[in-house]
Amino acid sequence: MNLAHLLARTARVFPQRAAVALGERELSSYAELAGRAAVIAGGLRGRLGLPVGARVALLMANCPQYLELLFAIWHAGLVVVPINHKLHPREVAFILENSATSLLFVGTGQAAAGTAEHDPGLWRDSVPGLRIVAVDDADYRQLAGGQAITVTPRAPDDLAWLFYTSGTTGRPKGVMLSQRNLLAMTLSYLPDVDQAMPSDSILYAAPMSHGAGMYSLVHVLVGARHVVPASGGFDPQEILVLARHFGQVSLFAAPTMVRRLVDQVAEQAADCSGIKTIVYGGGPMYLADIRRALEVLGNRLVQIYGQGESPMTITALARRHLADRGHARHLERLASVGVAHSVVEVIVADADGRPLPVGESGEVLVRGDTVMQGYWRNPEATAATLRGGWLHTGDLGSLDADGFLTLKDRSKDVIISGGSNIYPREVEEVLLRHTAVAEVSVVGRPSTEWGEEVVAFIVCRPGASAPREELDHLCLESIARFKRPKDYVFVAELPKNNYGKVLKIELRRRWSESGGN
Confirm whether 404 is domain-assigned.
Answer: no
Kindly state the DSSP code that residue 1 receives in the 8-state scheme.
Answer: -
Residue 116 banded pLDDT, cuts 50, 70, 90: very low
Confirm whether 406 is domain-assigned.
Answer: no
Radius of gyration of the chain (CA): 23
9-13, 166-170, 177-181, 317-321: lowest mean pLDDT where? 166-170
Measure the CA–CA gap between 314 and 346, rounded to whole angstroms: 7
**pLDDT score at 510:** 72
Measure the CA–CA gap between 415 and 332, rounded to whole angstroms: 23
Cα 163 to Cα 82, 128, 154, 159, 211, distances in angstroms? 6, 21, 19, 11, 11
Measure the CA–CA gap between 265 and 287, rounded to whole angstroms: 19
Asked if residue 436 and residue 322 are part of one domain, the reply reads: no
Helix or strand or coil: residue 145? coil
Model confidence pLDDT, tens digit, residues 296-311: 999 999 999 999 999 9
Model confidence pLDDT, tens digit, residues 193-232: 999 999 999 999 999 999 999 999 999 999 999 999 999 8
Asked if residue 437 and residue 390 are part of one domain, the reply reads: no
pLDDT over 80 (residue 145):
yes
Q: How many domains does the chain have?
A: 2
Helix or strand or coil: residue 405? strand
Confirm whether 403 is domain-assigned.
Answer: no
Measure the CA–CA gap between 225 and 19, rounded to whole angstroms: 5
Residue 456: its H or E element: strand 451-460
Q: Which amino acid is at 315?
A: T
**pLDDT score at 274:** 97
Asked if residue 451 and residue 476 are part of one domain, the reply reads: yes
Model confidence pLDDT, tens digit, residues 157-182: 999 999 998 654 457 899 999 999 99
260-269, 271-280, 333-342, 448-457: lowest mean pLDDT where? 448-457
Range(s) of the domain holding residue 498: 414-513
Asked if residue 375 and residue 241 are part of one domain, the reply reads: yes
Q: Which amino acid is at 63?
A: C
Task: Give the domain-ending residue among 397, 427, 458.
Answer: 397
pLDDT over 60 (residue 115):
no
Helix or strand or coil: residue 117? coil
**pLDDT score at 111:** 46
Residue 256: its H or E element: helix 255-268
- In the predicted model, what is the mean pLDDT of residues 78-97? 87
Asked if residue 265 and residue 188 are part of one domain, the reply reads: yes
Return the bridge partners of 164, or none.
174
Q: CB neighbours (10 Å) of residue 429?
A: 20
Residue 117 banded pLDDT, cuts 50, 70, 90: very low
Model confidence pLDDT, tens digit, residues 29-76: 999 999 999 999 999 999 999 999 999 999 999 999 999 999 999 999
**pLDDT score at 412:** 73
**pLDDT score at 28:** 98
Residue 425 banded pLDDT, cuts 50, 70, 90: confident
For the chain, give the mean pLDDT: 90
Measure the CA–CA gap between 345 and 389, rounded to whole angstroms: 11
Confirm whether 409 is domain-assigned.
Answer: no
Return the bridge partners of 175, or none.
163, 375
Q: What is the DSSP string of 15-71?
A: TTSEEEEETTEEEEEHHHHHHHHHHHHHHHHTTS-PPTT-EEEEE--S-HHHHHHHH
Return the bridge partners of 81, or none.
57
Asked if residue 141 and residue 225 are part of one domain, the reply reads: yes
- pTM (2 decimals)? 0.85
Q: Which segments within 310-371 are labelled E, that is strand?
A: 310-317, 339-340, 344-349, 362-368
Q: Which amino acid is at 401?
A: A
Confirm whether 150 is domain-assigned.
Answer: yes
Confirm whether 407 is domain-assigned.
Answer: no
| CATH number of 468's domain | 3.30.300.30
Cα 334 to Cα 251, 326, 427, 439, distances in angstroms? 20, 12, 17, 19
Q: Which amino acid is at 67?
A: L
Q: Which of 10, 99, 18 is nearest to 57 (CA)?
A: 99
pLDDT over 70 (residue 316):
yes
Asked if residue 459 and residue 374 are part of one domain, the reply reads: no
Q: Which amino acid is at 179?
A: Q
Measure the CA–CA gap between 447 and 482, rounded to whole angstroms: 13
Confirm whether 356 is domain-assigned.
Answer: yes
Cα 435 to Cα 425, 466, 475, distances in angstroms? 18, 8, 14
Helix or strand or coil: residue 172? coil
pLDDT over 70 (residue 458):
yes
91-105, 126-140, 322-336: lowest mean pLDDT where? 126-140
Percent pLDDT > 70 in the chain is 93
**pLDDT score at 499:** 63
Higher pLDDT, 395 or 403: 403
Higher pLDDT, 89 or 293: 293
Measure the CA–CA gap between 468 and 269, rounded to whole angstroms: 33
Asked if residue 371 and residue 462 are part of one domain, the reply reads: no
- In the predicted model, what is the mean pLDDT of residues 85-91? 78
Task: Give the domain-ending residue among 349, 367, 397.
Answer: 397
**pLDDT score at 297:** 97
Q: CA angle 433-500-90, nearest 5°?
A: 150
- In the predicted model, what is the mean pLDDT of residues 432-459? 88
Asked if residue 367 and residue 433 are part of one domain, the reply reads: no
pLDDT over 60 (residue 517):
no
Cα 398 to Cα 337, 356, 403, distances in angstroms? 11, 9, 9
Confirm whether 133 is domain-assigned.
Answer: yes
Asked if residue 143 and residue 202 are part of one domain, the reply reads: yes
**pLDDT score at 503:** 83
Phi and psi at residue 307, to the nearest 5°: -135, 165
Asked if residue 331 and residue 377 are part of one domain, the reply reads: yes
Asked if residue 428 and residue 311 are part of one domain, the reply reads: no
Residues in the chain: 517
**pLDDT score at 172:** 83
Q: Which of 278, 321, 282, 326 is nearest to 301 (CA)?
A: 278
**CB within 8 A of 298, min separation 6: which ones?**
272
- In the predicted model, what is the mean pLDDT of residues 128-148? 90
| CATH number of 24's domain | 3.40.50.12780
**pLDDT score at 304:** 96
Question: Half-sphere exposure of 417 toward its Cβ, with a 13 Å CA cutoff?
Answer: 22
